[in-house]
Amino acid sequence: MNNTERRVSMAERRPSSILTTEHNKSGMIVPHLAGLEDPLPETTPEKVDVVIVGTGLVESILAAALSWQGSSVLHVDSNSYYGDSSATLTIDQLKNWVAKVNNNEYSGCYQDARLYVSSMVSPQGSYSSRDFGIDLSPKILFAKSDLLSILTKSRVHHYLEFRSLSDFHTYENDNFEKLNNSKQEIFTDPTLPLMTKRNLMRFIKFVLDWETQPELWEPFVDKPLSEFLEKKFKLEKPHISELIFSIGLCYTYDVTTPNGLQRIRRYLTSFDVYGPFPVLYSKYGGPGEIAQGFCRSAAVAGATYKLQHKLVSFDPTSKVATFQDGSRALVTEKVVISPTQRPENSKNLPPQPYEVQHLTCVVEKDCAEWFGENRHAAIVVFPPSSLKTNNKVAVQVLIQSSGSETCPNGTCVWYLTTTETGKQGELDLDATLEAMEASIIRESSDIPHKADVFEMTPTGQYIVNSVKLGQSFIENAPQERLHFLVKLYYRQFTSTSPFNVVHPSLFNFQTSEKYEVGASDNGILYTAMPSGEISYDEAITAAKVLYDKIVGSDDDFFDIDFEDEEDQEISGKVYNESAITDDDDEADILDAEVVEFAGEMEI
């Protein structure tokens, strides 16, 4: 097994002429990241302000923010790759990671990892290990979010490339319904009664400005959002389910009204910011790719990077950090440590009371049935009670095809996630996979569509069947099975509950009555493992909390003044597969395939 194997990042794929436009505070060309393109530094700095252990997303954002603020940062990682708990791994790296989990090297963070890899993924097979990039913590990026704002402001977007995602599906009654996610789709949907359309439009108008209408929602402040939607807007269960689980991306019906409204508004205000889609995802990998971008930004600002460099101990009295190779560094401020890379015998570790269960699969099928034209990713949500296991918690699925550059042509990656605990969570994931497999086989096979299916009446007459195709129909059809190239199951534990509130000022970092994320232990700050939230909405807030604890304020968090006229004109590009239209004028505006956006986005 090659532990040093690594997929090439987006920044490395870019022409060198693009990267050479970047300048750091000394006017130097962007340095390569040590451990990526260049050999590791021979020596460890003798004195630094901050040591950060682990290159996960939050740690990498923090490293860049501190470095641009003027702090000297030594950023280390015991792994041979960037990303830590947010990493994007090749198959061989995944094998090594699973072995470490089951050897209890990530005690309290991961558990019960199981990996199946087909013989087709091997030097002798059809696919190589590096053909795949598997995210340990898959995420999506809302078009209106604090992370996207920081990516633009910090110019980290130069190291990344994004695609749009607008295909959202809800699983109900053994069928998948594509979400009507625009006013036009709601108006033109022939299946919706006129009164339902009016109620939905009335709610959409309300939720965009819900905080200014307390007389409507305050009586429901401690009540479930479902009750509020039913009583105040006369919405029925299918539409309530879509709003809570497909648009709000909540896990349970008991989300409170303010929290749910905030999440629904997040989706609606993100729609049409850069095009007819609310969500983006980064090519070549998710959080691992973005973390690497922030590491590059930190390197520009002067941070030192060392992979395969393990922190052994930190003496709070002498303020000396000791590393596995025997080197030492005097730390003038703080040591920030990822739970996965804490030294042995560490004290005051954050408790990890919340569980997230993952089932990741790579199938040998393009799964085009899930995507709109020229699209390469989709979200599928399984609301409570939609599975044969009578699931109490929703299962969220992120699907990515080869257009995401994380898998070869003709294959697709399915990321299944639930916050259900224990054996029930595993059963829910298995049932989800079974439903998805049956559906994709049904949709891609020669079985007739519902418009072509007839039903015989008791008198012997044939009538058009108005019942949608479901599992019962497929049972009598020729049996077919998907070919799975990879199956990975694991349980992850975190100190952060599933994200209930989107607005940063309302984010609650309390993990228990006695512990707060980032709590200090003699100069040491611990970060949190990724939560079950599918978006990146917690990342910037978590980094700000840690930044404040080190600097004393977050007022100058990424307060960077780049003297570069290029960035005043164009901040970056988002690849929007849906931008090709029949309208020549609109196509010209959208440049056919690319939507350019400028400036920092306000939240």
- The pLDDT value given to residue 187: 52
pLDDT higher than 80, residue 220: yes
- Measured between alpha carbons, how far is 106 from 512 in angstroms, rounded to an integer? 22
In the block, residue with structure tokens 């570069």: 564
Tokens describing residue 65: 């923010």
The larger pLDDT score, comparing residue 194 to residue 314, is at 314
- The pLDDT value given to residue 349: 76
- The pLDDT value given to residue 373: 86
* Sign (positive or negative) of CA dihedral 87, 91, 96, 98: positive
- The pLDDT value given to residue 345: 77
Least confident of 4-8, 32-36, 128-132: 32-36
Collapse the DSSP code of 599 into the 3-class scheme (helix H, G, I; strand E, B; otherwise coil) and give the result: coil
- The pLDDT value given to residue 17: 38
Angstrom distances, CA of residue 45 to CA of 28, 33, 304, 318: 20, 16, 8, 16
What's the residue count for the chain?
Answer: 603
Collapse the DSSP code of 16 into the 3-class scheme (helix H, G, I; strand E, B; otherwise coil) and give the result: helix
Angstrom distances, CA of residue 326 to CA of 44, 48, 312, 313, 438: 10, 17, 9, 11, 55
**92-105, pLDDT tens digit by residue?**
999 999 999 999 99
Mean pLDDT value across residues 146-157: 92
pLDDT higher than 60, residue 183: no
Percentage above 90 pLDDT, the chain: 59
Mean pLDDT value across residues 248-254: 93
Least confident of 21-25, 99-103, 132-136, 547-551: 21-25
- The pLDDT value given to residue 347: 72
The DSSP string of 355-414 is: EEEEEEEEESS--GGGS-TT--EEEEEE-TT-STT--SS-EEEEEEEGGGTSS-TT-EEE
- The pLDDT value given to residue 172: 83
**342-357, pLDDT tens digit by residue?**
988 777 777 889 999 9
Q: Is-contact 174 235, C-beta < 8 A?
A: no
Tokens describing residue 124: 């002798």
* Band of residue 452 on the pLDDT scale cut at 50, 70, 90: very low
**103-114, pLDDT tens digit by residue?**
999 989 999 999
pLDDT higher than 80, residue 474: no
- Measured between alpha carbons, how far is 177 from 169 in angstroms, rounded to an integer? 5
- Measured between alpha carbons, how far is 529 from 93 in angstroms, rounded to an integer? 20
Q: Is-contact 265 282, C-beta < 8 A?
A: no
pLDDT higher than 70, residue 502: no
Average pLDDT, the chain: 81
Q: For the chain, which domains are there?
A: 29-89+283-352+498-556 (3.50.50.60), 91-131+161-178+276-281+354-444+479-494 (3.30.519.10), 183-270 (1.10.405.10)
pLDDT higher than 50, residue 454: no
Give pTM, 2 decimals. Answer: 0.84
